[in-house]
Chains A and B, each alone.
Chain A
Amino acid sequence: MMPTPTPTVPTYEVPGRTVAVVIPAYNEGKVIGPVVAGVCAAYPFVVVVDDCSKDDTGRCAAGAGAVVLLHVVNLGQGAALQTGISYALLRGADLVVTFDADGQHRVEDIAVLIETQARTGADVVAGSRFLGKALDMPTAKRLLLKAAVQFTRLTSGLDLTDAHNGLRLFTRAAAGKIRISQNRMAHASEIVDQVGALGLRMVEAPVTVIYTSYSLAKGQRVSNSVSVLFELLLGRLSKT
């Protein structure tokens, strides 16, 4: 008999509402197994989008309990998120949570997002490390994120404390309205812009982000911000 792992982290359940956790992943073979196992123990419906990883990310994720969607071409985190969200909606999820593959997020914070949504009735709940905790965050990263908050405030009109947190929750309706067209890292800004443009209600909730040497080594460089700005501009021009 296979023992059923009992959840050891606090969860928040809303009766009758299915929660899907979408995890975009690229070359995270080393950590994806434990990350997925941790999420699965609390929320069984986990979707990992393997963005054409060169290692065994997909196999490890499936082995840990996730449904794996495979991109045959590397498209980027934004595209992987959209694929995962589309799948979750196809499978009838009522709440769609986005979660990072590298271990920076805590499973217990998913409960915080769900509880916040249930209490406020918001369409989108965004995790904020500045309302919560950011453990061992490098100064350069902190400055860059603060700058991103200002930029987002200008472009979308939304007042957020953390504009680029991968831990978010969408209601089914909100997830269906949002369409991520920015394949790579500009998707975070695009999501916020669309929330503003669609008039969706977005609230923030305090979450903890853990910076390990592993996640920092894989993280975004400051120089990437320039290409993100360029991609956003190109995206806007192509729509006119």
Chain B
Amino acid sequence: MIIQFILCAGLGFALFYAYLQRRKSSLVSLAIVVVSAAGIVAVLLPSFSNAVAHAVGVGRGADLVFYCWIVITLLVSVNLQFKILQVQQNVTTLTRELALRAPVPPNVPPGGAAMEGQA
């Protein structure tokens, strides 16, 4: 009973989060709603996952949940990779702008530049 409560609470928060994010990204929001709702049903009705599993040709409900989890994790990872790429591009833009705004002029010491490399 207690585990069901904890899981439903967690999935409930996910549902609430999806609701909050609905304007920011409707597709991701919808996906979270569907997955969380399915999760809550599966937790409250233990035979649910087994029924769905058999319908799609998977042995056990637990196996189906596991497969779905793998797919979701892969999608999340790919999405994160692209987000990281975006952050890197932002860092590049900022670093470049800073460099261009403060060029260090040449500073050749009296006697000529050739001395510098011999220090």
Contacts and interface: CB of A to CB of B under 8 A. Distances in A.
16 contacts: A2-B110, A2-B111, A3-B112, A33-B116, A34-B114, A37-B113, A37-B114, A37-B117, A49-B99, A60-B116, A64-B108, A67-B105, A70-B98, A72-B98, A86-B100, A234-B81
A49 B99 CA distance: 8
Contacts of A82: 96
Interface string A24-36: 0000000101101
Contacts of A83: 96, 99-100
Contact of B99 (A2, A5, A33, A70): A70
Given A33-B113, A34-B114, A60-B116, 15 more contacts: A5-B113, A62-B105, A63-B109, A64-B113, A65-B108, A66-B106, A67-B104, A67-B105, A67-B106, A69-B103, A69-B104, A73-B95, A83-B96, A183-B88, A238-B85
A34 B118 CA distance: 9
A181 interface: yes
A2 B115 CA distance: 13
Count class of interface residues, chain A: 35 or more
A231 to B, nearest CB: 10
Contact of B100 (A60, A68, A87): A87
B95 A234 contact: no
Interface in B63-119: 81-82, 85, 88-89, 91-92, 95-96, 98-100, 102-114, 116-117
Interface in A56-103: 58, 60, 62-73, 75, 79, 82-83, 86-87, 90
Interface of A: 2-3, 5, 31, 33-34, 36-37, 40, 49, 58, 60, 62-73, 75, 79, 82-83, 86-87, 90, 181, 183, 234, 238
- Per DSSP, chain B at the interface is helix
Contacts of A2: 110-112
Interface residues of B, number: 27
Nearest to B85: A238
Given A63-B116, A64-B116, A183 B100 contact: no
Nearest to A237: B82
B106 A65 contact: yes
Contacts of A66: 106
Contacts of B98: 70-72
A220 B92 CA distance: 22
B113 A67 contact: no
A75 B92 CA distance: 7
A6 to B, nearest CB: 12
Given A36-B113, A40-B113, A63-B107, A71 B99 contact: yes
A86 B106 contact: no
Nearest to A60: B116
B117 to A, nearest CB: 3
A64 B119 CA distance: 12
A2 B89 CA distance: 44
Nearest to B111: A2
Contact of A65 (B89, B95, B96, B113): B113
Contact of A69 (B88, B99, B109): B99
A36 B104 CA distance: 15
A34 B119 CA distance: 11
A234 to B, nearest CB: 7
Interface string B33-77: 000000000000000000000000000000000000000000000
